[in-house]
Amino acid sequence: MEKIEITLNINDKPCEVRVFPNDTLLEVLRDELDLTGSKESCGEGVCGSCTVHMDEKPVRACLTLAMEATGTRIKTVEGLANGDDLSDLQQSFIDHGAVQCGFCTPGMLMSADALLNENPKPDEKTVRMALAGNICRCTGYAKIVEAVGHAGNPQDHCPDCKTKE
């Protein structure tokens, strides 16, 4: 099998990369483009740790071929912050203690970001539904759900929360 040169649009930048036809988007992001924020855990579409956006929709990068991503806009967790400025969602995760080991966090953020882009003020049930495909082994989910809810509804002020209003 020979490698083929493709151009991907990652975080609004064109990236030329040589891939095998069966390389996954996750392999190419991590191993060829050094974008290691997206994590591989199950590698079979179950855990959500590899979630990225393709044309603003969350997809499993471990189940997506890199070649399928040509002609689309891919956003990874590296694309959430603006330089050193974290997004409100990222800051809310920190403020609410929603990160423990952090392995699920990039995927959680990308699923939550897609939700907030579509529905800026989700209720708790909607947040839980949107994150149902993302597994966390540490937090018990409550703080993650709170962090996402607060990022969408900053006027619902929580005690000790420093998230921007």
What is the contact surface with ligand FES in residues (CB under 6 A)?
40-43, 45-50, 60, 62, 99-104, 136-139
Gap between the Cα atoms of 24 and 93, Å rounded: 28
Residue 62 vs 147, nearer CB to ligand FES:
62
Smallest gap from residue 125 Cβ to ligand FES (A): 21
E strand or H helix at 162, and its extent? none
CA atoms within 13 A on the CB side of 40: 16
Smallest gap from residue 159 Cβ to ligand FES (A): 22
Residue 4 vs 100, nearer CB to ligand FES:
100
C-alpha torsion sign, points 160, 82, 115, 61: negative
Would you give the distance in Å from CA 136 to the centre of its chain? 14
Smallest gap from residue 96 Cβ to ligand FES (A): 12
Q: Are 113 and 122 in contact (CB under 8 A)?
A: no
Smallest gap from residue 142 Cβ to ligand FES (A): 12
Smallest gap from residue 5 Cβ to ligand FES (A): 25
Residue 32 vs 40, nearer CB to ligand FES:
40
Q: Are 150 and 97 in contact (CB under 8 A)?
A: no
Helices (H), the chain: 25-27, 88-95, 105-118, 124-130, 142-152
**Residue type (1 letter), 37:** G
Residue 4 vs 133, nearer CB to ligand FES:
133
Residue 93 vs 150, nearer CB to ligand FES:
93
